[in-house]
């Protein structure tokens, strides 16, 4: 399959075309992010998010540009957004007493109400997950509830790791559609 052909087929929601593009460019995007992040878990997450975003927006891809450059731009922007979120998540209140600075880190531990809401949201999420096909339920359960790596899931399900990544990507997309309904 040629890249241009794969892009056209992906725009028509062809799963084989998505797999082809994922396999073709995975190492390139992963390597790009690994140099920036230098943490394999975070690199893998950003890479998956990059492909997810690219596949969701594939119909907006302009053939005047190279697909690889477009993917890297998406990946770079996701990383920049992630860095910004991390900087904003550290909240400090600074007050001065005489010439001494006192730094207080806000207590963000969940209250009793927060815990109750979280439990209710988790129960709803589990109900929504049960609406997915069994193989999608399985990969979500293994990844997010049993916290297995992609490699561990691939071994457990006896499937190639890229199939696991694609299944998880599709499962998350379908789950988001169910939640939004």
pLDDT at 84: 84
* Three-state SS at 124: helix
**What secondary structure does DSSP assign to 58-101, as a single string?**
GGG--TTS-HHHHHHHHHHHHHHHHHHHHHHH--EEEEEETTEE
pLDDT at 95: 40
Q: What is the CATH number of domain 109-180?
A: 1.10.10.10
Instruction: Enumerate residues 6+ apart whose C-beta is below 8 A from 134.
Output: none
What percent of the chain lies above the pLDDT cut of 90?
45
Instruction: Enumerate residues 6+ apart whose C-beta is below 8 A from 154.
Output: 160, 161, 163, 164
Q: Which of 71, 108, 115, 66 is nearest to 90 (CA)?
A: 108
Residue-wise pLDDT for 109-145, tens only, equals: 777 777 777 778 778 888 888 999 998 999 999 998 8
Where do the structural domains in the chain lie, given as residue ranges?
Answer: 3-88, 109-180
pLDDT at 67: 93
* Three-state SS at 102: strand
Residue-wise pLDDT for 3-13, tens only, equals: 999 999 999 98
3-88 domain in CATH 2.40.40.20? Answer: no
């Amino acid at each position: 399959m040629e890249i241009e052909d794969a892009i056209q087929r992906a725009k028509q929601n062809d799963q084989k075309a998505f797999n082809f593009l994922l396999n073709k460019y995975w190492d390139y995007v992963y390597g790009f992010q690994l140099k920036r992040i230098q943490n394999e878990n975070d690199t893998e997450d950003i890479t998956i998010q990059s492909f997810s975003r690219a596949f969701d927006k594939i119909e907006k891809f302009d053939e005047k540009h190279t697909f690889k450059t477009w993917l890297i731009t998406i990946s770079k922007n996701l990383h920049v957004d992630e860095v910004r979120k991390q900087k904003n998540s550290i909240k400090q209140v600074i007050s001065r007493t005489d010439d001494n600075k006192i730094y207080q880190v806000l207590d963000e531990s969940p209250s009793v109400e927060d815990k109750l809401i979280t439990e209710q949201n988790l129960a709803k999420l589990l109900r929504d997950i049960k609406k997915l096909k069994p193989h999608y339920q399985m990969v979500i359960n293994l990844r997010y509830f049993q916290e297995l790596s992609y490699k561990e899931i691939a071994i457990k399900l006896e499937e190639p790791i890229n199939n696991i990544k694609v299944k998880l990507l599709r499962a998350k997309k379908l789950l988001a559609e169910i939640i939004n309904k």
